[in-house]
């Protein structure tokens, strides 16, 4: 899916990992006529007041969500159909594909054990040893360090 999204637009994966774009308005502290101090706050900006760059970011958000839904196999679609944002969808997909943190840790430990215990068999050709070792290295690369 990452390759599919990168081919559509290079910015999509960056937007997916950062979460949905939400624009805010910073309101300064104010004092009412009665002398009550209202502290400074930050409020979500109404989309009708977005400037062009904010509209572009929202459009990229929508595009990313659409492309992700297109690229998902039918058996996973029902699981993630209720996700509202692309970040939520991405996190749910990641959890579904990788499994829980415990299962990921178990698989990573198995890969590390295979790497540490690797040895070439006596009658094995160098190319076969290389291929086996390459498989172990590729498995290790799938997990963050």
Provide the residue ranges of all domains of the chain, joining segments of one domain with +. 1-98, 99-145
The model's confidence at residue 43, banded by pLDDT at 50, 70 and 90, is confident
The percentage of the chain sitting over the pLDDT mark of 70, rounded to a whole number, equals: 97
What mean pLDDT comes out for the span 105-124?
A: 86
Residue ranges with strand state E in 8-112: 24-27, 30-31, 37-38, 41-44
Statement: residue 144 has pLDDT above 70? no
pLDDT, position 62:
82
Statement: residue 79 has pLDDT above 80? no
What mean pLDDT comes out for the span 69-87?
A: 76
pLDDT, position 67:
80
Top-confidence residue, 41 or 85: 41
Query: Mean pLDDT for the chain?
Result: 81
What mean pLDDT comes out for the span 65-91?
A: 77
Statement: residue 100 has pLDDT above 80? no
DSSP percent split of the chain into helix, strand, coil, nearest 5: 60, 10, 30
- Dist CA 67 CA 126 (whole Å): 43
């Amino acid at each position: 899916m990452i390759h599919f999204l990168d081919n559509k637009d290079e910015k999509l994966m960056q937007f997916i990992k950062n979460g949905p774009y939400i624009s805010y308005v910073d309101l300064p502290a104010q004092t009412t006529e009665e002398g009550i101090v209202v502290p400074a706050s930050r409020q979500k900006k109404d989309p009708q007041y977005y400037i062009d760059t904010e509209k572009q970011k929202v459009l990229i958000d929508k595009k990313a969500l659409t492309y992700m839904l297109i690229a998902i196999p039918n058996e996973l679609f029902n699981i993630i159909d209720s996700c509202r944002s692309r970040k939520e969808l991405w996190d749910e997909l990641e959890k579904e594909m990788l499994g829980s943190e415990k299962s990921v840790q178990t698989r990573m430990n198995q890969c590390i054990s295979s790497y540490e215990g690797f040895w070439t068999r006596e009658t094995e050709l160098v190319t076969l040893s290389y291929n086996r070792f390459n498989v172990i290295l590729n498995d290790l690369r799938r997990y963050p360090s």
